[in-house]
Amino acid sequence: MSPTLPHAHGGSPLCGRLRVEPADFRVDEVLGFEPSGDGEHAFLEIEKTGANTEWVARQLARALELPPVAIGFCGLKDRHAVTRQAYTVHLGRRADPDWQALSIAGVHVLRATRHARKLKRGAHRGNRFVIRLRDIEGDRAQAQAVAAAITTQGVPNYFGEQRFGHGEDNLAMARRLFAGARLPRDQRGFALSAARSALFNAVLAQRVSECNWNRALDGEVWMLAGSHSVFGPEPLSVDLEQRLAACDIHPTGPLWGRGALRSSEAVHELEMGVAAQWSEFAQGLEQAGLEQQRRSLRLLVRDLQIDWQDTSCTLAFSLESGAFATVVLRELCRSADEV
């Protein structure tokens, strides 16, 4: 996560060592549903350590002599972590193999049953994180105050550093793509996603710096909490202000593409101003054929807890799908490597 993105709650009160070992960063996928128990797909609950989600999917396909399209999963999970998530494997009428005999480095099948359909991206409700921070320095009382603010107000819903690749390589690919280079399909997808995310982050950073990322401006487009449904713009009212304060609705920012911005008035002016500063990306995304969409500017953080030890602490919290734990973490603690 770029240190230049403004913080919402006064800056990180703590400094510590992050991800010293994979077990310091644990992620449990929260599906929000149970497998059907029958069907043509094997439903696997997998624990993986130090392994990329897509790499595991490819290894499953290879081990079972299936095409990659036969493997389904809900979301990409951190590689440098211990994560639990579900996969589906389209076996058809084939008998289930001995899942415990599956030999994939860092992968252990915890449960196997059957399911009626392939898991699709974004089908899960969210994720539960447990993160250990080592060699902590800083103001613990202030950290508790920031945690209380996060609990009531949420955090800016930035895209995390993972979206941009190591050393922001994906943004470099986007610049090559927009300059006319031809990229393989997967690299093109990473490049477009990174460019779109960078432009969204720039709009959100502007609003955080102006202290209105979680407040209503004229011309706002709203997103219903817990969904991707949007409405507006419409004139500000007492009802909208009350729903905003209750975290029932959130302001949104643009996921850039072709077509007119949905926002109007002050929001439209701000977003167009930022897009002018990022014209290379805005024009490139339009020419690539992506359509305008919206993303919530505010991310709610559920069940945030801090467990303090002598020289370390453990953070635990839950996020909706599509959100990044790093944007919560950065409000509380910066890496000792950045100092």
**Which active-site residues does the annotation give?**
78
Question: Within a 13 Å sphere around the CA of 187, how many CA atoms are in the beta-carbon half?
Answer: 12
Assign 16 to helix, strand or coil. strand
DSSP 258: B
CB-count exposure of residue 68 (10 Å: 0-12, 13-18, 19+): exposed
Question: Within a 13 Å sphere around the CA of 84, how many CA atoms are in the beta-carbon half?
Answer: 13
Q: What separation in angstroms does the CA of 113 have from each of 30, 88, 97, 170, 285?
A: 17, 10, 12, 37, 42
Beta-bridge mates of residue 250 = 223
| Contact predicate 129/26, CB 8 Å | yes
**How far is Cα 301 from Cα 153, in angstroms, rounded to an integer?**
9
Assign 89 to helix, strand or coil. strand
Beta-bridge mates of residue 247 = none
Lookup result for tokens 């850039």: 256
- Note the residue count of the chain: 339
Task: Give helix then strand counts, H and E, for the chain.
Answer: 8, 16
Closest-CA residue to 85 (of 122, 45, 113): 45
Instruction: Find how far residue 301's CA is from the centre of its chain.
Output: 13
| Contact predicate 56/131, CB 8 Å | no
